[in-house]
Chain A
């Protein structure tokens, strides 16, 4: 990565806009990195599979059945992906609403991550629609199925993307050197944040509420009328674990983007985040226990699904919770990162238990995703990372805003 990119934005006033964009579209840095070597073939293969899917039908590349109509693309891409994107609303709450300045340096990258996650993972929903051309119906309002949880979730996705775009837009303005626009956009931040947090609470829980009507289809250890609450609470630490994980990678890959000062702050940021995670996980564990006692499923614990339930709760909630708690004081960064990874695995397991593994768990032919569904999922993730990288190397996301921003303050 070259360093001169940092100057592009601030002194582009003389250059023609067109030249600027063409220049920005060119790749930066080396081509043959391990990441590129792995991701490019998968993205191409994914694209081919998507073409096949639109040509021959969804069944040509997925293992979905009449009894299991939602599989990996909904259960992982949408439901799990959106939980991981929860970091954005939690951090904007801490930074903008509680006004805790400490986390300011990571809020932009988190919002960007959240925004892209919505664009791509919620966008993966379009691949799963059999008749995507009719997606316009619930949007333009000629057919509002207002009794549908999916209607609510879909609308909240769209509005939330808008809110996140507004929250992120000052970075775009700084990149383009548009001073006046930046001022207007950043004055909208607080409104977007408040609106965004409200929407997030509703659609994070809404993703769980989607499954409320599938009462008998989901294993009783995971079905509960409280799924919506459990989903919101767990999205707090799911999102923050993602922030920790993503931060660990960014600090290596985009090392030279991050200022000396922010590198130093990292330690205390991580400790703070692990404390919040520990508290949220404790609340989650407490709720889970209450729900379990309320539903009286003791007899189910000694079944294979019961063991699996215990693995999820003990191995991927309790253990990382303690790791977060101890290291929020002792400050061992490695352990915090391991805890974050465990937590993320736990979220994947939990969301898949509700949506895929525990869905029709007792059916004779259980659904397993096909390799093609997995490739498409990976292709979606890689594309998102590509776009993320493109933006981070160009706009002031990890690095500090250009000097003129501070001068104007």
Chain B
């Protein structure tokens, strides 16, 4: 039974992933040149709330060291100077932690929104922001269902701040700073497929401890930032009012209708114009 369910989930996961990512199944075959999406898996049950990842992130990205205290129950958010946060929630006399950053959606709303391709989904999975292209319209912020991109409202040369899964480090063959510096191995880096399998294994082996959900597996069409936890995600400040399917699909219908409007409307107008052209004389006569 357990095995069946696992297999089922796995097939679903792979099928769902490949389908929603808009890639062909072939991209999962090992001999395919296409790379697999990289991902991060955060295990809340292992997290000790040390916030080493916050500091490592700040250092790796040249941002100020986070100074604010972490208090149980207080929801800190990522800001224009902080790309990831750890929050604590009190349960009896223990604390449970949660971690938030950009979800690196398989089909990111921010990328679909961006009219300059400044927001960009790399083939390795990370969603990155490119300063030389961005015009600061903030449409990515309007569209991101997780409210991730942050804007420098008090700068004449503002940037959009958000996690890029240490894309530059990845290109140098290193792993993201947060995962590298987590002393509790609560945050691990790998391919999305491996990490989903790992998360499923943990849940299956310890069903009493874990919630039976991998946050990020299906949400918003699947994301590369995955989390598992021992309490329901909505209690840990995770956005749960999110649809399962991809967000860019919401405006696809509109975008697809544009060419047909361009093909159909002008000839129609021209036809009506021709039909009414000779009306002048009659009208004049009526006047």
Q: Which residues of A are at the interface with B, using a C-beta cutoff of 8 A? A: 54-60, 62, 64, 66-67, 69-70, 93, 96-99, 101, 125, 128-135, 137-138, 143-145, 147-152, 154, 190, 193-195, 197-198, 201-202, 205-206, 209-217, 225, 228
**Distance from B26 Cβ to chain A, minimum over Cβ atoms (Å):** 23
Residues of chain A lying within 8 A (CB to CB) of residue B266: 194-195, 198
Known A129-B136, A145-B114, A148-B112: A209·B153 in contact at CB below 8 Å: no
**Distance from A353 Cβ to chain B, minimum over Cβ atoms (Å):** 16
Known A194-B270, A195-B266: A150·B145 in contact at CB below 8 Å: no
| B280 interface residue per 8 A CB criterion | yes
Establish whether residues B270 and A209, one from each chain, have CB atoms under 8 Å apart when the complex forms: no
Residues of chain B lying within 8 A (CB to CB) of residue A60: 153-154
Establish whether residues A57 and B156, one from each chain, have CB atoms under 8 Å apart when the complex forms: yes
Q: Which of A128, A134, A206, A228 contacts B116 (CB 8 A)?
A: A134
Q: Which of A62, A151, A225 contacts B250 (CB 8 A)?
A: A225
Known A60-B154, A194-B269, A198-B261: A214·B142 in contact at CB below 8 Å: yes
For B260-278 the 0/1 string (1 means CB < 8 A from A) is: 0110011001101100110
Q: Which of A59, A101, A137, A213 contacts B109 (CB 8 A)?
A: A213
Further 9 A-B residue pairs, CB within 8 A, beyond A57-B152, A190-B273, A213-B143 = A57-B156, A66-B151, A128-B138, A130-B135, A131-B134, A138-B116, A147-B112, A152-B258, A225-B253
A58–B151 CA distance with the chains assembled, in angstroms: 10
Residues of chain A lying within 8 A (CB to CB) of residue B254: 149, 205-206, 209, 212, 228
Establish whether residues A211 and B135, one from each chain, have CB atoms under 8 Å apart when the complex forms: no
Residues of chain A lying within 8 A (CB to CB) of residue B142: 69-70, 210-211, 213-214, 217
For B90-112 the 0/1 string (1 means CB < 8 A from A) is: 00000000000000000001011
| Number of chain B residues close to chain A: CB under 8 A | 59
| B158 interface residue per 8 A CB criterion | yes
| B242 interface residue per 8 A CB criterion | yes
Known A143-B117, A195-B266, A215-B250: A58·B153 in contact at CB below 8 Å: yes
A148–B142 CA distance with the chains assembled, in angstroms: 13
A63–B32 CA distance with the chains assembled, in angstroms: 50
A151–B158 CA distance with the chains assembled, in angstroms: 21
Residues of chain A lying within 8 A (CB to CB) of residue B157: 131
A93–B137 CA distance with the chains assembled, in angstroms: 33
Chosen A-B contacts, 24 in total, with CB atoms closer than 8 Å, are A57-B154, A66-B141, A125-B137, A128-B137, A131-B135, A132-B135, A133-B135, A138-B115, A145-B114, A145-B117, A150-B139, A152-B258, A190-B273, A194-B266, A195-B266, A198-B261, A198-B262, A213-B248, A215-B145, A215-B243, A215-B250, A217-B145, A225-B253, A228-B254
Residues of chain A lying within 8 A (CB to CB) of residue B118: 134, 143
Residues of chain B lying within 8 A (CB to CB) of residue A64: 153
| B234 interface residue per 8 A CB criterion | no
| B79 interface residue per 8 A CB criterion | yes
Residues of chain A lying within 8 A (CB to CB) of residue B113: 148-150, 213
Residues of chain B lying within 8 A (CB to CB) of residue A148: 112-115, 139
A133–B251 CA distance with the chains assembled, in angstroms: 27
**Distance from B233 Cβ to chain A, minimum over Cβ atoms (Å):** 15
Establish whether residues B135 and A151, one from each chain, have CB atoms under 8 Å apart when the complex forms: no
| B76 interface residue per 8 A CB criterion | no
The total of Cβ contacts below 8 Å across the A-B interface reads 170
**Distance from B153 Cβ to chain A, minimum over Cβ atoms (Å):** 3
A395–B272 CA distance with the chains assembled, in angstroms: 31
Known A145-B116, A215-B145, A225-B250: A54·B133 in contact at CB below 8 Å: no
Residues of chain B lying within 8 A (CB to CB) of residue A202: 258, 261-262
**Distance from B5 Cβ to chain A, minimum over Cβ atoms (Å):** 30
Residues of chain B lying within 8 A (CB to CB) of residue A128: 137-138
| B200 interface residue per 8 A CB criterion | no
| B147 interface residue per 8 A CB criterion | yes
Q: Which 6 A-B pairs have the closest CB atoms?
A: A130-B136, A59-B153, A151-B115, A131-B136, A69-B138, A99-B276
Establish whether residues A98 and B135, one from each chain, have CB atoms under 8 Å apart when the complex forms: no
Residues of chain A lying within 8 A (CB to CB) of residue B242: 216
Residues of chain B lying within 8 A (CB to CB) of residue A152: 255, 258
Residues of chain A lying within 8 A (CB to CB) of residue B273: 96-97, 99, 190, 194
Residues of chain B lying within 8 A (CB to CB) of residue A134: 116, 118, 132-136
Q: In this complex, what residue of B is CB-closest to A60?
A: B154
Establish whether residues A212 and B250, one from each chain, have CB atoms under 8 Å apart when the complex forms: yes
Q: Which of B139, B152, B277 contacts A210 (CB 8 A)?
A: B139
Q: Which of A101, A137, A214 contacts B135 (CB 8 A)?
A: A137
| B155 interface residue per 8 A CB criterion | yes
| B279 interface residue per 8 A CB criterion | yes
Establish whether residues A98 and B272, one from each chain, have CB atoms under 8 Å apart when the complex forms: yes
Establish whether residues B158 and A213, one from each chain, have CB atoms under 8 Å apart when the complex forms: no
Establish whether residues B141 and A149, one from each chain, have CB atoms under 8 Å apart when the complex forms: no
**Distance from B274 Cβ to chain A, minimum over Cβ atoms (Å):** 10
Establish whether residues B276 and A97, one from each chain, have CB atoms under 8 Å apart when the complex forms: yes
A368–B152 CA distance with the chains assembled, in angstroms: 19
Q: In this complex, what residue of A is CB-closest to B246?
A: A213
**Distance from A39 Cβ to chain B, minimum over Cβ atoms (Å):** 28
**Distance from A227 Cβ to chain B, minimum over Cβ atoms (Å):** 9
Residues of chain B lying within 8 A (CB to CB) of residue A194: 266, 269-270, 273
Establish whether residues A55 and B116, one from each chain, have CB atoms under 8 Å apart when the complex forms: no
**Distance from B277 Cβ to chain A, minimum over Cβ atoms (Å):** 6
